[in-house]
Structure 1
Amino acid sequence: MKTSVEVEYWVIDRKGELCAPEGLTGISPQVEEEFVDCLLEIKTTPCESVEDLAAQFVELLGETLREAKERGKGLVPLATPLDCDSIEQLPGDRARIQEQVLGEDFEYAKHCAGTHLHFEKRRVVDQLNTLIALDPALALLNSSPYYKGQRIAAGARPYIYREKGYAQFPAHGQLWEYAESVAEWNDRLERRYAEFKREAIDAGVDEAEFEANFTPDDAIWTPVRLRKCFPTVEWRSPDATLPSQILRLAGEMYPLMDEASRAEVRVEGDLGLVTDDGITLPEFGAVREYTDAAIHEGLGSGEVREYLGRMGFDVDAYDPLTEQLDRGPSLDEAQARELRLEYAAALERDVARLSEPEQYAHRKQNA
């Protein structure tokens, strides 16, 4: 089963100020600009194993960090920039249309940096439903409690993205219920696409321009997506964070998604359980409660920890950055700059460790 990852990182200068990537996105076709002027995305190609994924991701990230250092820049592995005012978006029709439809709420999306994990389509409905049930695992990578200097949740990014950015369109940005079939899932997509199109036209967007920039496959921003163009099932919930933590999560998700593509998957009760005999997913209402706790409390929630343990995760092996950088109910711009510099340095150390020969051998042994 092939897998790939996409991770977004904030770009800063030597003072910790957000800045443009400039030449960093010319390193490789796999290093791209995002839709705002201080964010870049590193994406791997589809890999045959977690070992291959780790090798490619670490190499790409290492190359980007070396180039960044030469240019007096750094990359920050945090879900939000912690404290800053308005972030400028780059010229582009898609982002302009979204802002035209969402209005001021689109500002929330500009403060979000995440991790997207892709898994090759196999038994699609079971894979989709398993990813939906595993959404509370976002707590394992929570990496910022702050939005514009205010502590708002253990996972500030999923909170502002789901609850604020798409408050007017909850069906477009929040977790969907389990799918009964691919056809039924695609019907949902078509309905949401039609709704978004109507709102765009009502907001003054030309219909032909809208259709040139959006399709049902890419007009929805739900945490779990079925992608036609890759083709994969995609999980978009985790924050951007240190690569060692991302790769640990990918290594635990991979066998779960593999099991979902070959073993029995059923929905029953509120607890959830993964065994060698199959996967029992909790009812969707329970999943929503676990996910809400994962966003607001993170691994501070005993129920989330117990649930993730039953679903096969080694919870104690994770150290979410959101807990490390908590500086109280608020922080100012100077503190934010210092923290960005601190975690940019932590990212460099993490990549250096992952690049060591013995670390590569360990990844190969455990892949």
Structure 2
Amino acid sequence: MSEPPTTRRSSNRTETTPLGDHEPIRRSIEVEYWVIDEQGRLTEPGDLVEASPGVEREFIAPLLEIKTTPCETTAALRNELFERLNRVLRRADTQDKGLVPLATPVNEDSIADLPSERTRIQDQIIGADFEYVRHCAGTHIHVEQQPGREIDQLNTFIALDPALALVNSSPYFRGTRLTTGARSKLYRRLAYADLPHQGTLWPYADDTAEWEGRLERRYNEFVTEALDAGFDRETIESCFDPESASWTPVKLRDQFSTVEWRSPDTALPSQVVRLADDLVEVVEQLLDAEVRIGGDTGRITDDAVVLPAFETVQTYVDASIQDGLSSDAVRSYLDRMGFDVSAYDPLAHELDTREELTEEHARQLRLEYAARLEQDVQQARSVSAD
């Protein structure tokens, strides 16, 4: 099927470097893992946060985040992530704890927050729906902004959002099958149902001024909601700014000078590194290509990056959440957009064996996948040593 005529061209494309003569593109990862005890029960990380640089608490008690620094190569990113993970796992082993690479805890009734004014504001604004966020563990991938191509890069990441299907890692919420990508549904469709502009994927942007205007509008809406909930402006503004008060899955980050993709689930670290590498490869291609928006299918070739209409992207996103890589349309789309789909084996499809899971089965699964994560780290370190 031939591609329909394109309807729009990204507006701020400039030639900033000669063909094929680009600086290395830096990338970094932030990945969250559930912490469990020897019986598979959720627990607090304790001093695991002191095991390595880049290890932090998240806003809920049993979640740990591991961050890398910006790295110029996939090998450097892999080495740093796996080294930091290995340090955490060594300490966890002495305490009979484990890290679970699943996007939800599978079956858990309620999860406690860490005390925080920022969390208290969100809890009041979002209300009971904020409980959905507490059951989500994800991955954020940062890719360095390319001068003069920032909006091309942002728009391309928006078009690539269906690639979340490559690492869907849990279909369950509170023991019940929700959908293939349960975290994406919890986060986008349920938690921010009453603040739809905050958590959903935003349309393509024409330029950075349009993007900044969106951030300001969303921030003003958020501040108004917080004021209505009884918080004072000084407290709100001390906890949030326009960049940090929106949870849209793709963000232009002025603070880090990156484009951040927040959609992927937490997953095995080897899967996350592969995904980051694939994103960087797409950015490398668009530097020497024309980026166009329009049509119904989308494709990446040697000389063009064609992004489908935003409505089409939304259709693929819905299928990625609902069916994941079981969707032929999603697989075909991601293949055209430069991904080797056959290289991915999402954990959600392994887990998706029944409609209901007991608490006992959930604990067993957490223990099983904590062991899988350890194997993934040890295998990568063995390959690196060779």
Is the shorter-chain TM-score for this pair beyond 0.5, marking a shared fold? yes
Can you list the C-alpha shifts for 1:3-40, whole angstroms capped at 9, x where unaligned? 00000000000000000000001123400000000000
Query: Structure 1-normalised TM-score?
Result: 0.97
Counterpart in 2 of 1:300? 326
1:247 partner amino acid? V
Separation (CA, whole Å) in 2 of partners of 1:353 and 1:138: 24
Counterpart in 1 of 2:236? 210
The correspondence for 2:36, drawn from 12, 18, 21, is: 12
Root mean square deviation of aligned Cα: 0.9
Matches for 1:198-237 after TM superposition, within 5 Å: 198-237=224-263
1:263 partner amino acid? A
Can you list the C-alpha shifts for 1:73-121, whole angstroms capped at 9, x where unaligned? 0000000000001100001111111001000011011000001000111
Counterpart in 2 of 1:92? 116
1:94 partner amino acid? R
Counterpart in 2 of 1:264? 290
> Which region of structure 1 is more displaced relative to structure 2, 245-254 or 344-353?
245-254
State the 1:64 CA deviation.
Answer: 0.7
Separation (CA, whole Å) in 1 of partners of 2:52 and 2:81: 12
1:240 partner amino acid? T
Separation (CA, whole Å) in 2 of partners of 1:252 and 1:300: 20
* Structure 1 residue ranges without an equivalent (≥5): 362-367
1:187 paired with 2:213, answer: yes
The correspondence for 1:68, drawn from 87, 92, 95, is: 92
Counterpart in 2 of 1:365? none
- 1:127·1:261 contact (CA, 8 Å) conserved in 2? no
> Which region of structure 1 is more displaced relative to structure 2, 21-30 or 275-284?
21-30
SS in 2 for 1:163: helix
> Which region of structure 1 is more displaced relative to structure 2, 259-268 or 101-110?
259-268
- 1:13·1:72 contact (CA, 8 Å) conserved in 2? yes
Counterpart in 2 of 1:284? 310
The correspondence for 1:239, drawn from 243, 265, 268, is: 265
SS in 2 for 1:62: helix
* Structure 2 residue ranges without an equivalent (≥5): 1-24
1:147 paired with 2:194, answer: no
- 2:156·2:307 contact (CA, 8 Å) conserved in 1? yes
1:259 partner amino acid? Q
Separation (CA, whole Å) in 2 of partners of 1:360 and 1:108: 41
1:39 partner amino acid? L
State the 1:359 CA deviation.
Answer: 4.3
Can you list the C-alpha shifts for 1:194-250, whole angstroms capped at 9, x where unaligned? 000000000111111001110001100000011121121100000000011111111
State the 1:145 CA deviation.
Answer: 0.1
2:230 partner amino acid? G
1:3 paired with 2:27, answer: yes
Separation (CA, whole Å) in 1 of partners of 2:77 and 2:31: 13
Counterpart in 2 of 1:275? 301
Residue identity (%): 55
Counterpart in 1 of 2:76? 52
Counterpart in 1 of 2:57? 33
The correspondence for 2:192, drawn from 160, 166, 181, is: 166
- 1:124·1:261 contact (CA, 8 Å) conserved in 2? no
State the 1:253 CA deviation.
Answer: 1.2
Q: Structure 1 100/261 Cα, relative in aligned 2: closer, same or farther at 3 Å?
A: farther
The correspondence for 2:203, drawn from 170, 174, 177, is: 177
1:339 paired with 2:382, answer: no
SS in 2 for 1:177: coil
Separation (CA, whole Å) in 1 of partners of 2:235 and 2:272: 37
State the 1:259 CA deviation.
Answer: 2.2
2:151 partner amino acid? V
- 2:288·2:303 contact (CA, 8 Å) conserved in 1? no
